[in-house]
Amino acid sequence: MRKIVLFNLITLDGYFEGANADISWHNVDQEFNDFAIAQLRTVDMLLFGSKTYQLMAAYWPTEDGIKDNPVIAELMNELDKIVFSKSLGKAEWDHTRLISENLLDEVKKLKSLPGKDVFIFGSADLSSTLIQHDLIDEFRIMINPLILGNGTPMFKNVTAKIDLQLLKTKVFGNGNVLLNYIPKK
């Protein structure tokens, strides 16, 4: 059975993006890049909400995305992707399927299939929905060493308490701290 893993970079005050989807504050260096490559090699599918999908699709297949980080661009472009959206009419990024209904049934079906882990990046609305229906198997939250002061909270639509168990931590040289949690059952 596959795991659904939520991975996000957040600020100490809990924001995963600033105003206008700004992520320029992401504390990314070679150590992070090596981690990101290793992590992407453990998955065979990515899930996105429409906003995150549009941002990713507008960057990774482009000349800039490929030039800036060719290994991650190759992985992002070659992985299977599902975008869950009722507003998008089409999804043109290679290896992407658009699903506009039965979100929960589709995710349950994905979890039951053989394969590697499935990751969600960004996508706070999608993540919140899956969290509230107990469909996230692991949370990988990387805290960046800054307070942003405003933006979009990662768990803005989660309305119920969810107890988590810490699996492991990793401290990066640049001050990022990765926290791996699973829901307590």
What is d(CA 172, CA 67) in angstroms, rounded to the nearest whole number? 25
pLDDT in tens, 17-43: 998 889 999 999 999 999 999 999 999
For the entire predicted model, the pTM comes to 0.94
Q: What are the phi and psi torsion angles at 19 (to 5°)?
A: -60, 145
At 45-92, the pLDDT tens digits run 999 999 999 999 999 999 999 999 999 999 999 999 999 999 999 999
Domain ranges of the chain: 4-183
Identify which of 46, 41, 125 has the alpha carbon closest to the alpha carbon of residue 83.
46
Instruction: For residue range 134-158, list pLDDT tens digits in order.
Output: 999 999 999 999 999 999 999 988 9
CATH of 4-183, one of 2.60.40.350, 3.40.50.150, 3.90.1150.10, 3.40.430.10: 3.40.430.10
